[in-house]
Structure 1
């Protein structure tokens, strides 16, 4: 990994306490097994590694978003809602409606409303549109996967890379990095080819890293939307060969990030972008690099990925009824 670590945000321990208090205030009561799983997931660790110099307010906000994202992920990946397209589609539609301002009715919807209101304060319509698009696209991937399970029992899509870019929820956290940095890029900056290439490369790296590190956990759960498992299936690899190929792809993705960074510097000059917008774009590239390194370090430290042996024992008592009013 060529990107240097900046370590953890010093407010990590306080943020851990705050996120659990926030969950309780919003009615996100977890079963004992679900609580154990969330403790092993350590959302405060990921947020602190990805945002090592963020203010306490912004670190708390990012950590609360991740706590909520992990709950959604476990509900649909592990629970019955993810196996029933009708239920899944109904729940996702409700969450997207709340994202757009509808009145909430369940604990997860109330928590989303709180996050939406605090996150959107002072943000431009351009940023708000991008964040809404990235968040809704992530949510709808659960419906797509539930339909695939019902139809074929395993992923059948040829465009898995595009699906994975949405399903990891990474893009919404790239958007949140702008909030933490106090920047708000104009539409012209967001349309730079190198900016788009950089976001795609960072998202691909995070997805590949997660697929490699979560392989054992997802195999236990029978979850097939994993790059390694698809490589094994579609190319006739052994599992180790598939892991090795995914590792090669991860290294290539790192090079894509570095190339996009170089292209971004050239395009900033070519487009005569000056002042605050230029500094904001440079800051985005620096923050994205920090997220990539922080994500790698997180996967090496969080028991969600280092202790897959605990998943099977917890699976039956994992979920809580967060989507009921």
Structure 2
């Protein structure tokens, strides 16, 4: 099957999906959408990465569009006001750069640099305005993102976002320790950790900024809302693992669902791939059921009042974008230069990272 890539030029190009990674149900039942602000989004995020010194200017020029970070977000948060869409896209680009810094700190054995960054990010999350001019561009860029994201909804939403991201930072630290010690987590340990390192609840929180509405706890914490949200995120995390498994085995990684299945469950590589595909496909099937239930739940919130109608519409907006996440994640993995490992000069070193300087300033 092919899709049309929007990632590198104004002229769409066909992208082939390897048979082992093809999911016909996504291609058939999850139409792809793109936020109309996307062309400006791509241009502005390029500029932001340069201005915040998150990537060297030459690497931004050569690689930023092909990495498709803005495509991923523009295919997800449909309906978001342009300002919100831009803030989310910049934050997402920052997240990928942070993930790369974390990886380089592991690869180059820089525990002191990682520990310093970990504590600085915790501090910036709680007082972002005080860190806008931090000497480490990664901390300053994070602070800039957080200030903008905190401007859209209320203090309760901001506190929830901070609580969720503090947990993400600590999960990255657990991953750092696992990788440096060669510890492969059990399947259950990995699934719990993955929900944090993939930032399931962060991307779910941002659905509310897209809808322009802070959902009450009774709705967010309802089993029907959480089930649909979790399934969309689990699909994304596990599909990422499926696509990344060959390169992560080659790189002696310890964090991948397939690696945990092989190491702790005694599965062969083929058996692990089969298991992962079943889990990924199961997420899609279960989401289609959860989607109907949440849609009915949203209808029940429209009680004839203005507030009820607004709440119902907001939940439907969040649900629609949970659905969009499936197609956006799926095509991102086949269009982004982040996954074209076989084309790199050095399979262990992404060409878009500043490998020497990362974490050393």
Contact 1:165 1:204 in 2 (8 A): yes
User: Normalized per residue, which structure has more helix?
Assistant: 1
What secondary structure does 1:225 align onto? Answer: coil
Give the Cα separation in 2 of the matches to 1:43 and 1:136. 23
The aligned residue for residue 212 of structure 1 is 242
The aligned residue for residue 310 of structure 1 is 344
Deviation per CA, 1:103-158, whole angstroms, max 9, x where unpaired?
32221111111111111114123322221122222222210011123344433574
Task: Give the number of the structure with larger relative contact order, counting CA–CA contacts within 8 Å between residues 6 or more apart.
Answer: 1
**Matches of residues 215-234 of structure 1 in structure 2 within 5 Å?**
215-234=245-264
Give the Cα separation in 2 of the matches to 1:139 and 1:195. 25
Is 1:19 matched with 2:45? yes
The aligned residue for residue 166 of structure 2 is 136
Is 1:60 matched with 2:86? yes
The two structures, once aligned, show a CA RMSD in angstroms of 2.8
How far did 1:305 drift? 1.9
Is 1:288 matched with 2:322? yes
Change in 2 beyond 3 A, CA 1:35/1:218? farther
Give the Cα separation in 2 of the matches to 1:31 and 1:83. 26
Q: 1:241 aligns with which of 230, 249, 271?
A: 271
- Structure 2: state its 5+ residue gaps: 1-24
Give the TM-score, by structure 2 length: 0.80
Deviation per CA, 1:17-43, whole angstroms, max 9, x where unpaired?
211211222222438678756554221
How far did 1:234 drift? 2.1
The aligned residue for residue 118 of structure 1 is 148
Change in 2 beyond 3 A, CA 1:190/1:259? same
How far did 1:9 drift? 2.7
**Matches of residues 182-201 of structure 1 in structure 2 within 5 Å?**
182-201=212-231
The aligned residue for residue 297 of structure 1 is 331
Give the TM-score, by structure 1 length: 0.88
Give the Cα separation in 1 of the matches to 2:84 and 2:300. 33
Give the Cα separation in 1 of the matches to 2:302 and 2:43. 45
Give the Cα separation in 1 of the matches to 2:85 and 2:299. 32
Give the Cα separation in 2 of the matches to 1:79 and 1:31. 22
Give the Cα separation in 2 of the matches to 1:219 and 1:152. 13
The aligned residue for residue 7 of structure 1 is 33
Change in 2 beyond 3 A, CA 1:35/1:146? farther
Q: 2:354 aligns with which of 306, 314, 319?
A: 319
